[in-house]
Structure 1
Amino acid sequence: MITHSTLDGAHVLTMDDGKVNALNKEKLDALVDALAECAQDQAPVAIRGRKGIFSAGFDLKGFAAGPETATAQLQAGKDAILAILRHPAPVITLCEGHAYPMGAFLMLAADKAIGTEGEFVCGMNESAIGMALPIYPMILGAARLSPHGRKAVATSEMFAPHAAREVGYFDKVVAPEAVEATLSVELAHMKGLNPGAFNANKVAMNRTLIDQIEASPLPDFG
């Protein structure tokens, strides 16, 4: 599911289950473990998905499998977001396709989120599929999304790449043919930052957000 490679001294974590990268507890735990491995040095990390789809979001089968499995899956999503927010080196997400909710959450948690042009959408569509979001992505969205993006959570408005950038899911959107060059440039920039200063500033900026997410309760599936 997750392969770990390097690019010019930076880490690249690629999520690819051969399907749509529906994220269950096992896959999210694997992402957290991979980030922990990357944290052994101070090199930047890029997280990317399949071409055409970064992630279809949470695995709906996990929510249908009973309260225990559903709760564990949501906790794993919370843990993944916190792992990105706490990661001592810069984390870039690279989205070359659709990013449905849990995939969109990873974009919001990253230090830099890059999207690609195409017939893709990103956002939170839970109202349309009959689900209530847990509190932690609401906290993340309130901190990172524009007013339009925040209102769109309730209405399940999904955003094409450039609109997703305007509301806060992406920081930059590039043409598909520019993806690899853009990733190299962004990783080079991140490598040029002073590691200690970066970590100190990231910790300071994310402290309140992390505290709020940590304290947020999960839904009661009982």
Structure 2
Amino acid sequence: MAFNLAINNDIAVITFDDGKVNAVGFELIQQFNDALDEAEQNAKAVVLHGGEGKFCGGFDLSVMKADDKAKQHELVSKGAELIVRLYSFPLPVVVAAEGHSIAMGAIMLMAADLRIGKDADTKYGLNETAIGMVLPPFGMELAKARLANTSQTEALLFSRIYQGSEAVKAGFLDAAVPQEQVLATAMGYAEKLKMLPRQSFAESKIQMRKETIAKMQA
């Protein structure tokens, strides 16, 4: 896993790229938390970038398909804690998702404040129902808060996967642009958002999201 944190002009760019699908495992969660600790101290906005042509394909299947149920529960619990942290983070969080964002990847999108994705040939969505799973409560509550009301049945029950402008309409993305513009567009938004007063931004975010956060943590 190539994981990097770079802080320039008060923007913390967190890049994670394992050369595959950027599966979320214990190590990646710890790296994220360490990077967010530093960003909280030394930056004014955060950009999450999954590398060229990718974002995140979900939880690490080597754990989720193994026989160790305790490990599976631990991984999902730690993943939930990370998502709640992102959703309540005191700085603006912008995602640059150049590639597929499925399952936990889609949940990460919903936890961010602003999401820039690719405009075509890229999948965004929650496939849990289709693969015989139930979306964990933290993901379900987040989805009900972030997805468009008119898209929730097809997204959550029918496991519809979206691309480009459809993902924007459903609520997984805020903008879909050509792949070569994804990171630059996300950085442009971060430059603007970093100018917001930190205390008022953080307090307003918590006030707006506290009910959903409480349900995610229940």
TM-score range for the pair, normalised by the shorter chain length: over 0.9
Alignment of 1:46-195 (within 5 A): 46-65=47-66, 66-151=68-153, 152-195=155-198
How many Å apart are 1:107 and its aligned residue? 0.6
Q: Is residue 32–residue 79 contact of structure 1 (8 Å, CA) maintained in 2?
A: no
Q: Is residue 11–residue 44 contact of structure 2 (8 Å, CA) maintained in 1?
A: yes
Quick one: which amino acid aligns to residue 186 of structure 1? Y
Q: Is residue 29–residue 80 contact of structure 1 (8 Å, CA) maintained in 2?
A: no
SS of residue matched to 2:125? coil
Give the TM-score normalised by structure 1.
Answer: 0.92
Q: Is residue 147–residue 170 contact of structure 2 (8 Å, CA) maintained in 1?
A: yes
How many Å apart are 1:177 and its aligned residue? 2.9
Quick one: which amino acid aligns to residue 132 of structure 1? V
Structure 2 Cα separation of the partners of residues 41 and 7 of structure 1: 10
Structure 2 Cα separation of the partners of residues 18 and 176 of structure 1: 17
SS of residue matched to 1:58? coil
Quick one: which amino acid aligns to residue 71 of structure 2? T
Q: Is residue 130–residue 159 contact of structure 2 (8 Å, CA) maintained in 1?
A: yes
How many Å apart are 1:149 and its aligned residue? 2.8
Moved more, 75-84 or 30-39: 30-39
Quick one: which amino acid aligns to residue 4 of structure 2? T
Q: Is residue 20–residue 53 contact of structure 1 (8 Å, CA) maintained in 2?
A: yes
Structure 2 Cα separation of the partners of residues 137 and 77 of structure 1: 10
Structure 1 Cα separation of the partners of residues 121 and 198 of structure 2: 37
User: Which runs of 4 or more aligned residues in structure 1 lie more than 4 Å from their structure 2 counterparts after TM superposition?
Assistant: none
> What residue in structure 2 maps to residue 218 of structure 1?
none
Deviations 1:70-101 (A, max 9, x none): 00110121011111122111111110010011
Q: Is residue 42–residue 88 contact of structure 1 (8 Å, CA) maintained in 2?
A: no
Quick one: which amino acid aligns to residue 26 of structure 1? E
The question of 1:213 aligning with 2:216 is answered: yes
Structure 2 Cα separation of the partners of residues 41 and 203 of structure 1: 21
Quick one: which amino acid aligns to residue 131 of structure 2? I
Deviations 1:58-79 (A, max 9, x none): 1122112311110011012101
SS of residue matched to 1:14? strand
Structure 2 Cα separation of the partners of residues 20 and 88 of structure 1: 28
Quick one: which amino acid aligns to residue 113 of structure 2? D
> What residue in structure 1 maps to residue 9 of structure 2?
8
Aligned residues: CA RMSD: 1.4
How many Å apart are 1:26 and its aligned residue? 2.2
Q: Is residue 23–residue 55 contact of structure 1 (8 Å, CA) maintained in 2?
A: yes
Q: Is residue 35–residue 83 contact of structure 1 (8 Å, CA) maintained in 2?
A: no
Structure 1 Cα separation of the partners of residues 106 and 34 of structure 2: 20
How many Å apart are 1:42 and its aligned residue? 4.6
Q: Is residue 92–residue 112 contact of structure 1 (8 Å, CA) maintained in 2?
A: yes
